[in-house]
Amino acid sequence: MYDAGLATLDENGNYQSNIGDVAEAVSKMDMSEEWFRDMFGRSGDYGARQFFVDSELDGMMQMEE
């Protein structure tokens, strides 16, 4: 089993991602950033909520939505 340290399993059996830097995560997962962002973007189709924040301002704007 491969563990890149990018997610944890909580007490309810739900995964929590802990990706601080997308460039570092794509390097660990050996994939392109485009594929990585698309994969997480599609996770919303299955009930997951993912946000990519490229700056502090971007994060603040996403919080307001």
List pLDDT tens digits, range 32-64.
999 988 888 788 788 777 667 778 787 778 777
SS3 call for 37: helix
Give mean pLDDT, residues 7-33.
Answer: 86
Q: What are phi and psi of 40, to 5 degrees?
A: -70, -30
Residue 1, pLDDT > 60, answer no
Nearest to 29 by CA among 11, 8, 6, 50: 6
What is the per-residue pLDDT for 15? 81
C-alpha–C-alpha distance, residues 56 and 43, integer Å: 23
What is the per-residue pLDDT for 18? 79
What is the per-residue pLDDT for 65? 65
What is the per-residue pLDDT for 27? 92
